């Protein structure tokens, strides 16, 4: 019997946590952890993590984000839900996922092979999608969470904003801020690895910039009186790679 698919935490920094299926509490996350479908991942305002999915698809979760890994490759189907914050996903077209979607409360983005970003503004519940490579189909939801209107194709160099009850979506050319964001991300080892150029690793110290460029606003301040999560723990295995670096 085939074991269920899982995602691997390839790299992370700052305060990052996981809530496993059936659990009611978040616990510290470690580099090298393997997590099953239905796991919830959460990052603090100083944190980010990099997820390697089956078939070598990669997802980068930015600061102040909460993401649910709904499907992890069963029948080549992948589905994530962004409850807050943002993700950047690199989907390997050569591995032919039958479905790869990133959902928010306001809409859904579906792809077959591309490099794209999805952000959700928790205050306005507006969803923003930006495409660096390939094409993404984006569709808004109504108040009941049902797809509304016709999906719009967001092609390379384009972006779109989606919101509940916004039936007609219009893709437009990326703003300058998004172009700068993609320039920063394309220099990260995480994406270079997928092109055979280096290790799968995050670049530290860019989260405020990336948030601002994607959402076109500043990263929210920490909640007053919020208790910081425990620091990141790293798993060291004898003879294995250095913490935070994954090698194929």
Give the model's pLDDT for residue 84.
97
Nearest to residue 111, comparing CAs of 130, 86, 128, 93? 93
- Token code pair at residue 14: 């700052």
Class of the domain covering 6-219: mainly beta
Query: What is the pLDDT, as a whole number, of residue 196?
Result: 64
Predicted pLDDT of residue 212: 95
What pLDDT shows up at residue 240? 39
Structure tokens at 142: 């109504």
Q: Where are the domains of the chain?
A: 6-219
Ranges of the chain whose pLDDT falls below 50: 223-248
Contact indicator for 40, 66 with CB cutoff of 8 Å: yes
Q: How many CA atoms lie within 13 A of 247 on its CB side?
A: 4
pLDDT tens per residue, range 187-227: 887 666 666 666 788 999 999 999 999 999 888 765 444 44
Rounded Cα gap, residues 65 and 214, in angstroms: 13
What is the pTM for the complete model shown?
0.87
- pLDDT of the residue at 237: 41
Count CB atoms within 10 A of the CB of residue 144.
7
């Amino acid at each position: 019997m085939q074991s269920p698919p899982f995602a691997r935490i390839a790299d992370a920094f700052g305060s990052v946590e996981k809530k496993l299926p059936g659990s009611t509490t978040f616990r510290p996350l470690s580099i090298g952890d393997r997590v099953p479908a239905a796991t919830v991942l959460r990052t603090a305002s100083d944190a980010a993590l990099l997820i390697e999915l089956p078939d070598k698809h990669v997802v980068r979760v930015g600061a102040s984000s909460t993401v649910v890994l709904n499907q992890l490759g069963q029948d080549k189907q992948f589905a994530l839900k962004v409850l807050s914050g943002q993700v950047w996903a690199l989907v390997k077209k050569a591995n032919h996922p039958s479905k790869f979607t990133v959902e928010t409360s306001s809409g859904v983005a579906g792809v077959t092979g591309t490099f794209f970003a999805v952000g959700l503004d928790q205050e306005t519940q507006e969803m923003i999608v930006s495409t660096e490579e390939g094409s993404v189909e984006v569709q808004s939801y109504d108040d009941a969470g049902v797809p509304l209107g016709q999906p719009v194709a967001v092609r390379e160099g384009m972006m779109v904003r989606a919101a509940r009850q916004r039936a007609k979506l219009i893709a437009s050319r990326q703003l300058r801020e998004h172009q700068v964001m993609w320039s920063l991300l394309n220099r990260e080892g995480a994406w270079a690895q997928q092109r055979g150029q280096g290790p799968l690793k995050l670049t530290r110290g860019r989260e405020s910039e990336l948030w601002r460029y994607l959402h076109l606003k500043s990263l929210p301040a920490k909640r007053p009186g919020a208790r910081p999560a425990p620091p990141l723990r790293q798993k060291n295995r004898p003879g294995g790679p250095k913490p935070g670096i994954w090698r194929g």
